[in-house]
Copies of this chain bind each other. A is one copy, B any other.
Amino acid sequence: MWIENARKILPAWAKNGGDQTDVVLASRARLARNLQDLSFPGHASEATMKEVLRRVEQAVNAIRADHSPLKLTRMEDLPLLERQILVEKHLVSPQHIERPQHRAVILNADESVSTMVNEEDHLRIQAILPGQQISEATAAADKMDDLLEERLDYAFHEEKGYLTACPTNTGTGMRVSVMVHLPALSMIDQTRRLLSALSQIGLNVRGIYGEGSEAYGDIYQISNQMSLGRTEEEILYNLQTACAQLVESERTARDAIVRDSKLQVEDKVWRAFGTLSQARLLTSEEALRLTSDVKLGTDLQIIPDMKSIYLKELLFVTSPGILQKIIGREMSPGERDQYRAMLVRDLVNPNK
């Protein structure tokens, strides 16, 4: 059955786990690190980038010998589709797959920790976990950082901290973020106001596919803007506090819409379910929008017995790359819309 195979492709954060999963889809921590005495990738020669990759590969081999399996994959060895899938799983950035030469990714077994080599910095260590697990994600990234630091010389300045290509990352080099689902705030038109308040307290708000992307399906990524001059603890505390407030606001908004416009919410949610159950053509944008409505319905217990429907799985299998991987061949956008609808029907009507 394709669903079983599809589950094997999904990264750790697509699975259940973590707190406040009604609002927080995933938590991410990222550390920017660079090797001493070598130019940042943006200004580095081919030789320098090769040298970075050589040293990192050596370190990874040493870690692998002592610890659980780590796998370094050079981007240029991957077919375009596989690279696209890494982006859809949020394991590498879209920029990282554009020019694959001398670039790589290091993954652990369940893909909860991924490290990009020669992206904007020599190393971008990232951990993503499901739900609200900001501390746990930070701990996982820190652990990977320790393993690498034991075997590599990092560029570090006594006062400034870790040196990075972009000055906003200097210091701890840490960026933490949460991916949140805010459908009720969106329904009562409060999202814009709240998110602009967040940016005033030093947090950055983006859509689901990163910088500049739209917030399809009312999914937002909230992260710290700066790490320079702040301790890890401060950065963590700021995001955790903001996240708790967002969760509280979204839950209050959900209570309000259920109280004031129950029927309208039920109608919206069931219509989305009806369309996902029956459509024969679905763009990824529409699938995401409808999945967002259905998830709200599940969280509000409007749609009962949704154990058999895996919302994050819906989100993943509708992504163009993963969809083509599941079906097993490249497809035109029109064909993808057809197969996407087919997979979604299977997931939504598990007994058919």
Which residues from chain A sit less than 8 Å from chain B, CB to CB? 263-264, 266-267, 270-271, 273-281, 338, 341
How far apart are A304's CB and chain B's nearest CB, in angstroms?
A: 13
A275 CA to B281 CA, complexed, in Å: 15
Return chain B residues, CB-CB under 8 Å to A264: 281
Chain B residue at minimum C-beta to C-beta distance from A281? B267
How far apart are A64's CB and chain B's nearest CB, in angstroms?
A: 48
Copies of this chain, how many?
A: 2
A270 touches B266 (CB 8 A): no
Return chain B residues, CB-CB under 8 Å to A273: 278
A274 touches B267 (CB 8 A): no
Contact of A266 among B263, B276, B277, B280 (CB under 8 A): B280
Return chain B residues, CB-CB under 8 Å to A267: 279-281, 341
A274 CA to B275 CA, complexed, in Å: 5
How far apart are A267's CB and chain B's nearest CB, in angstroms?
A: 4
Return chain B residues, CB-CB under 8 Å to A266: 280
Contact of A275 among B271, B280, B338, B341 (CB under 8 A): B271
How far apart are A217's CB and chain B's nearest CB, in angstroms?
A: 19
How far apart are A349's CB and chain B's nearest CB, in angstroms?
A: 11
Chain B residue at minimum C-beta to C-beta distance from A277? B274
A270 touches B263 (CB 8 A): no
A281 CA to B266 CA, complexed, in Å: 9
Chain B residue at minimum C-beta to C-beta distance from A273? B278
Return chain B residues, CB-CB under 8 Å to A341: 267
A270 CA to B273 CA, complexed, in Å: 13
Given contacts A266-B280, A277-B278, 13 further A-B contacts (CB under 8 A): A263-B280, A263-B281, A264-B281, A267-B279, A267-B280, A267-B281, A267-B341, A270-B280, A271-B275, A271-B280, A273-B278, A274-B275, A277-B277
Return chain B residues, CB-CB under 8 Å to A277: 274, 277-278
Chain B residue at minimum C-beta to C-beta distance from A341? B267
Chain B residue at minimum C-beta to C-beta distance from A348? B274
Return chain B residues, CB-CB under 8 Å to A270: 278-280
Return chain B residues, CB-CB under 8 Å to A279: 267, 270-271, 274
A274 touches B278 (CB 8 A): yes
A277 CA to B266 CA, complexed, in Å: 13
A281 CA to B262 CA, complexed, in Å: 11
Return chain B residues, CB-CB under 8 Å to A278: 270-271, 273-274, 277
A341 CA to B274 CA, complexed, in Å: 13
A263 CA to B263 CA, complexed, in Å: 32
A123 CA to B341 CA, complexed, in Å: 56
A338 CA to B262 CA, complexed, in Å: 12
Return chain B residues, CB-CB under 8 Å to A263: 280-281, 338
A278 CA to B266 CA, complexed, in Å: 9
Chain B residue at minimum C-beta to C-beta distance from A270? B278
How far apart are A263's CB and chain B's nearest CB, in angstroms?
A: 6
How far apart are A196's CB and chain B's nearest CB, in angstroms?
A: 33
A277 CA to B280 CA, complexed, in Å: 16
Instruction: Write 15 A-B pairs (CB below 8 A) sorted by A numbering.
Output: A263-B281, A263-B338, A266-B280, A267-B280, A267-B281, A267-B341, A271-B278, A271-B279, A273-B278, A274-B274, A274-B276, A274-B277, A274-B278, A274-B279, A275-B275
